[in-house]
Amino acid sequence: MGTVDPVGGDPSRDTTADRAYRLGVLLGDGIGPEIVPAAVRVVDAALAASGAAPVDWQELPVGAAAIDEHGSALPPATLEALAGLDGWLLGPHDSAAYPEPHRSRLNPSGALRKHFDLYANVRPARGFGTGRAIAPDTDLVMVRENTEGFYADRNTFAGTGEYMPTPDVAVCMGIFTRPAVERTARIAFELAMRRRQRLTIVHKANVLQLSSGLFKKVCLEVARDYPDVAVDDFHIDAMTVHLLRRAADFDVLVAENMFGDILSDMTGELAGSLGIAPSINASDDRCMAQAAHGSAPDIAGRGLANPIAMILSSGMLLDWLGTRHGDERLRDAAARVESGVRAAVLAGVSTRDLGGSASTDGFTDAVVGRIAAA
């Protein structure tokens, strides 16, 4: 996944080849304390193999453990520390299990995206050719606008855009603004230029003529700056059918927040499993690696979790950093992360969701071994 990350600053800003990066480690809940350390191990192996400087890892509290110790799922000290780092890995959270009032507040992932304006959620879906995949030849990327749209918890400066004027009436605001749509569309088009030069706009402008209509309109306006990219568009309901029937025909998809969230879960499953679905959440100068799946509390602590999504997400973070700082060693390390994962799976090593029998640690050992041997 190291070649799909389009969000980054001017690569000429920092060309120090031996720069030591400082990355945060937020374990999260459920299987997070298993899959995040797995990603750290793989990143360290890939950096060593590429000759890059080792990462200075900083573990920070988040989630249920942070509530117990600090009285907050996302302590102010964690936010302050993250602001001084180059990026971070975020494990999944189980906010539905938090005690009140924490359960009703914006979850750690949403709070981080909002606090740091991580406006682009980039979610690749690429199959491994395994028999468990519904569409093993899937190779696409969803670019999701990450700060507004139909998710009301990201649409206001304070509080949320969801409220009840009476006990029997619930109101939810969906916000669409030209600047937010335009910056996300540019990320999607830049990505399409580096892939197969095809982009699909997903919307519901036939019914939501003003809100979703603005999303479609702005994306088409941005398209004029990318004449080499072939552009089409589909309504969200039709898009689900097209993905089920012909996922391999699509390259880059761009959608508003909720549509992109739903479709990227679907494309991850089409490619094989949500356990292999990575993502980054990024602005122009910050990046958070986060697997697209949840915390899976039912298998937590049993060594059954698939770490692929978290590992590939960490590789995307390396590529984002390498692009931003002009660091080819870091980009090489990112490529090694993905090649190590793919080599392990193609050699028959996988966790049970992909039809294998490897444990979380066993699969991680296999990836680290293949990176070291490459």
Instruction: Compute the 3-state secondary structure of the chain and give helix, strand, coil in percent, each to the nearest 5.
Output: 45, 15, 40
CA pair distance 169, 180, nearest whole angstrom: 29
Catalytic residue among 86, 251, 265, 353: 265
Cα–Cα distance, 242 to 181 (Å, whole number): 24
Say whether 216 is catalytic.
Answer: no
Residue 340 corresponds to which tokens in the numbers above? 């190590």
Q: Rounded to an integer, what distance in angstroms lies between the CA atom of residue 248 and that of residue 246? A: 5
CB-based contacts of 159, cutoff 8 Å, min separation 6: none
Backbone angles phi, psi at 201, to 5 degrees: -90, 125
**Both tokens of residue 201?**
């706009």
Q: Would you say 293 and 274 are in contact if contact means Cβ atoms under 8 Å apart? A: yes
DSSP string, 129-166: --TT-SSTT-EEEEEEE-SSBT-GGGSSSSS-SEEEEE
Q: What three-state secondary structure class fits 224?
A: coil
Specify whether 151 is catalytic: yes
| Selected catalytic residue, list 261, 319, 327, 353 | 261
Give which of 317, 316, 311 is closest to 349, Cα–Cα. 311
Q: Which of 21, 98, 119, 151 is catalytic?
A: 151
Q: Chain centroid to CA 181: how far?
A: 18
Q: Which amino acid is at 327?
A: D
Q: Count of CB atoms within 10 A of residue 282's CB?
A: 29
| Helix or strand (DSSP H, E) at 319 | helix 308-325
237 is catalytic: yes
Considering 14, 56, 225, 237, which one is annotated as catalytic?
237
Catalytically active residues are 151, 204, 237, 261, 265
